[in-house]
Amino acid sequence: MGLEFKNRTVHGVVEQLSSVRANDRFLTFEDQAFSYADVNASANAVAAGLQKLGIGKNDKVAVMMSNRPEFLFTWFGLSKLGAVEVPINTAHKGALLSYMLCMSDSVALVLEAGFADQVRDVLSDLGVIKHIIVLDGPVSLDDRVCSYDQMIENDGSFDRVQVLPSDPCAMMFTSGTTGPSKGALLPHNYQLVMAEIICSMAEYTEDDCLYNALPLFHGNAQTLSTMPALISGARMVLAKRFSASSFWSDVRKHGCTEFNYIGGILAILLKAEPQDDDRDNPLRVMVGAGANKEIFTAFEDRFGVQLVEGYGMSEIGTPLNTSPGDRRPGSCGTLNPGYQVKLIDDDGEEVGPNTPGELLIRPLQSSSMMLEYYKMPEKTVEAWQDLWFHTGDYLMQDEEGYFYFVDRKKDALRRRGENISSFEVEQGVNAHPCVLESAAVAVKSELGEDEVMICVALKPGQHLSAEDLIAHCEKQMAYFMVPRYVRFLPVLPKTPTERVQKYQLRDEGVTPDTFDREAAGKGQ
């Protein structure tokens, strides 16, 4: 739409569009429709209500709710106050949930009542939280609880503060690899730069309609879907969740022209029985990453949709990308002009074409990457060795400048679109009284991502079945973290310095003595 955003903050975009396109529809959710002005007014009410509770600039506020309009209103309202949104994966519970709420220094939690039991279990650990604002209540927790509906009963007036593009707006938790998850603190301008890159990749205009079915507690749904819809002046359809069975009917019903995919979504949609009307859909383009050549070509041929891909991380955004006019199946694209990159070997020397190396990156625009790992200065310094951000991922570049993802250097896993910390899986498994130690490794799945395998050494004289260990994990961790495969070993393979040799476990993979939870009918 060609707008220049004078206030490069999240709420600045919302307010400018509310001024110039007040009555135009922005958001559709189920049978509800919201104009730009509606969204802005609701965000004002949240800002006013939170300010009355004492929330101000730089305060951290956790948000734990499913996809719904109130999530957006809360996110935008926090932005208006200069407060920092801390989205929490709604599957988290136990020690990991407590860790994220406490480590982020969140002074308030906006909570959907359906997740109250998870919070109740860790309530005694949440001393720093002063307010628990509940939607769909009432719920019984403690005297910190107040009602979301009562909080927004105001005229939308609040005292304005100066919020700069360089100020923090969100804390996104990344997967821990050699330790706990890290909170990447992101500035406002990061959100706009990422949205501008995605709009350029997909060539969005105000005539587009974006289908957003990914969870809003993920950066993808916020930064790569919602913000591009806003700055392009497009409509956005928000779904409760991604559903393969309802995807195409939803897209057709709302006339959606774009969708962001992650993980195994393409493979899942391809698995459906072919229909005569597969190509009869309004989708123009789908934006994502990680499709191999076979899936890329098969999907485009069957559904008549262009796929554009890129490479990115929560910390750095999307420095490599393709576009509808410049695509190569299997490639994550070429370098965006807003960045510098290089590939290095393990000795720090740059590698030549067609040689795998770790991707290092620098931004050429201010406030376009994360500010820091919150309260982890040593991790921040480690990531920025020699003033280059070290991604921990191996990529390869061909002679024509196209990049190809090779593998992860880190021990993170990715399952069904969720980043998983092997450290946190191991911590949950090790909490079982029979377990001496464990190692979580990735096993490739038929959907092209990872399945989680846990290799376990028991304490001397102890006995434990795979089924009982799985039951323990289901109580300790989010459903997507629960291992599919369980392998018991007398001892874990180690180096002379007592480091577990995970590469050996990965190379051995699923052995005949490995328990498969799915084959045993124990869930997903």
Task: For residue 50, tell me if it sits in a domain.
Answer: yes
Q: Give the model's pLDDT for residue 523.
A: 57
Do 404 and 419 belong to one domain? no
Contact 3, 20 (CB under 8 A): yes
Distance CA 83, CA 103 (A): 16
The number of helix segments (H) and strand segments (E) in the chain equals 16, 27
Task: For residue 111, tell me if it sits in a domain.
Answer: yes
Partners of 404 in the β-ladder: 396
Do 147 and 253 belong to one domain? no
Do 153 and 244 belong to one domain? no
Q: Give the model's pLDDT for residue 177.
A: 44
Cis peptide preceding 138, ω within 30 of 0? yes
Q: Length of the chain, please?
A: 524
Q: Give the model's pLDDT for residue 294.
A: 83
Indicate the DSSP class of residue 180.
S
**How many other C-beta atoms are found inside a 10 Å radius of the C-beta of residue 340?**
13
Task: For residue 201, tell me if it sits in a domain.
Answer: yes
Q: Give the model's pLDDT for residue 350.
A: 97
Do 44 and 122 belong to one domain? yes
Do 438 and 386 belong to one domain? no
Contact 413, 452 (CB under 8 A): yes
Identify the three-state secondary structure at position 334.
Answer: strand
Task: For residue 233, tell me if it sits in a domain.
Answer: yes
Task: For residue 501, tell me if it sits in a domain.
Answer: yes
Do 296 and 434 belong to one domain? no
Q: Which of 384, 408, 432 is the last residue of a domain?
A: 408
* Helix, strand, coil content of the chain in percent (nearest 5): 30, 25, 40
Cα distances from 406 to residues 361, 389, 393, in angstroms, run 17, 18, 8
Which CATH number characterizes residue 69's domain?
3.40.50.980
Print the domain residue range for 147.
Answer: 35-163
Q: Give the model's pLDDT for residue 412.
A: 64
Do 373 and 461 belong to one domain? no
Do 217 and 269 belong to one domain? yes
Which CATH number characterizes residue 433's domain?
3.30.300.30
Query: How many domains, the chain?
Result: 3
Do 395 and 432 belong to one domain? no
CA angle 160, 229, 291 (to 5 degrees): 130
Do 222 and 299 belong to one domain? yes
Do 287 and 382 belong to one domain? yes
pLDDT by residue, tens only, the chain of 524 residues: 567 898 999 999 999 999 999 999 999 999 999 999 999 999 999 999 999 999 999 999 999 999 999 999 999 999 999 999 999 999 899 988 999 999 999 999 999 999 999 999 999 999 899 999 999 988 999 999 999 999 999 999 999 999 999 999 999 998 654 567 899 999 999 999 999 999 999 999 999 999 999 999 999 999 999 999 999 999 999 999 999 999 999 999 999 999 999 877 898 899 899 999 999 999 999 999 988 888 899 999 999 999 999 999 999 999 999 999 899 988 999 999 999 999 999 899 999 999 989 999 999 999 999 999 999 999 999 999 999 999 998 899 999 999 998 877 766 677 877 778 787 888 899 889 999 899 999 988 776 678 999 999 999 999 999 999 999 999 989 999 999 999 999 999 875 446 688 878 988 999 999 999 988 775 55
Do 121 and 39 belong to one domain? yes
Contacts of 140 (CB under 8 A, 6+ apart): none
Q: Give the model's pLDDT for residue 181.
A: 84
